[in-house]
Amino acid sequence: MLFALAAPARAGVNIVATLPWIGGMAKEIGKDKVSVTVLVKPNQDAHFVEAKPSMVLAASRADILVYNGLDLEVGYLPLIINSSRNPRIQAGENGNLDCSKYINAIERPHTDIDRSMGDVHPFGNPHYHLSPSNMASVAQGLTDTLARLDSGNAGFYRANLASFNRTLEAKKKEWEGKLSGKRFISFHKYFEYLANDLGFRITGYIEPKPGIPPSSGHMARLAEMIAKDRPDAILTTSYNGKKEVVFLSTKTGVKAIVVPHEIGCQEGIGDWFTLMDMVVESLK
């Protein structure tokens, strides 16, 4: 399992990852040829993280900084990068790896954004890491980066990518059809990529706008809608919305599910494949 700011003894390539799933992907591809430090804890809300001196120190030593992108880390990552004074990880350098450039982002706004719209991400929904199709692309991008920066081990990284892809194809067959046709209410726009990949629908949100807490009137309207439409469950993650989800579940009789959302967020979730197995199992 990967822990925040916990790195093993120095290996060939020093990787700093913002989020646990990114650290897990780096270990899948790099294995013993890399050391990985993760900045954000599994049950932290990645939207609201403060830059700390320990994060800056880790970044100052990084060969590669790997991050989610789509402005998910905009509140703290630019400060870490600038304060690190590490030329290898500055924007445009080979050691600055934005995973989102390898994915097909959804929900890109087509109008000008202002604060009345809530915490809308201008480049699209950043919660793509529960998408099997996107993770295949991210793994490829990470492999290419490692092979370029550590060319002597390029064959090793590409062999690990091939192994990852074989496991992914087998897992996709396991997950296929298990959630097709299901309907859920979600606290936040967290599961849209997963819904697209696995064939279920999100039919409503507890947040009236992204990042905006629901009013009592919104909650009352949602309770009426849920009682009438009877979705399969009401979803959230460990770090937000549990009180509102439990309230609506109690009010309507529709079950509440706290969905595992990150590597390390629950005991036994030590890699991305286990995370996905647990996510699919929780939603069945």
d(CA 226, CA 221): 9
Amino acid residing at 265: C
pLDDT at 113: 65
User: What CATH architecture is 183-283?
Assistant: 3-Layer(aba) Sandwich (3.40)
Residue-level pLDDT at 89: 98
Per cent of the chain over pLDDT 90 is 87
Say whether pLDDT at 1 is over 50. Answer: no
Range 196-223 average pLDDT: 94
Q: Which residues of 62-95 are buried (b: 16+ CB within 10 A; e: fewer)?
A: bbbbbbbbbbbbeebbeebbeebebebbeeeeeb
Q: What angle do CA 131, 236, 248 make, to 5 degrees?
A: 140
Q: What is the mean pLDDT of residues 93-120?
A: 83
Burial 32-44 (b: 16+ CB within 10 A, else e): ebbbbbbbbbbeb
Distance CA 93, CA 252 (A): 52
Instruction: Show Cβ contacts of residue 212 under 8 Å, excluding neighbours closer than 6 positions.
Output: 118, 119
Whether the CB-CB separation of 125 and 107 falls below 8 Å is answered with: yes
Judge whether 41 and 153 are in contact, CB under 8 Å.
Answer: no
How confident is the model over 14-54, as pLDDT tens digits?
999 999 999 999 999 999 999 999 999 999 999 899 999 99
The per-residue pLDDT for range 71-81, each reduced to its tens digit, is: 999 999 999 99
Does the pLDDT value for residue 4 go beyond 60? Answer: no
Which tokens in the block code for residue 54? Answer: 């320990």
* Whether pLDDT at 237 is above 70: yes
What is the dihedral sign for C-alpha 120, 123, 128, 131? positive
Decide if pLDDT at 248 tops 80.
Answer: yes
Domain regions of the chain by residue span: 13-173, 183-283
- Is the pLDDT at 280 greater than 70? The verdict is yes
pTM: 0.92
d(CA 40, CA 267) in angstroms, rounded, equals 17
Which fold would CATH assign to domain 13-173? Rossmann fold (3.40.50)
Q: How much is the average pLDDT of 101-115?
A: 82
Residue 139 scores a pLDDT above 70: yes
Residue 120: predicted pLDDT: 66
| Cβ(64)–Cβ(95) below 8 Å | yes
Please check the confidence at residue 114 and state whether its pLDDT lies above 90.
no
Distances (CA, A) of 172 to 19, 47, 138, 141, 164: 23, 29, 16, 20, 12
Kindly state the average pLDDT of the residues 100-129: 82
Higher pLDDT, 109 or 128: 128
How far lies 159's CA from each of 32, 36, 137, 140, in Å? 13, 19, 16, 11
pLDDT one-digit tens code per residue, 179-194: 999 999 999 999 999 9
Inform me whether the pLDDT recorded for 281 exceeds 50: yes
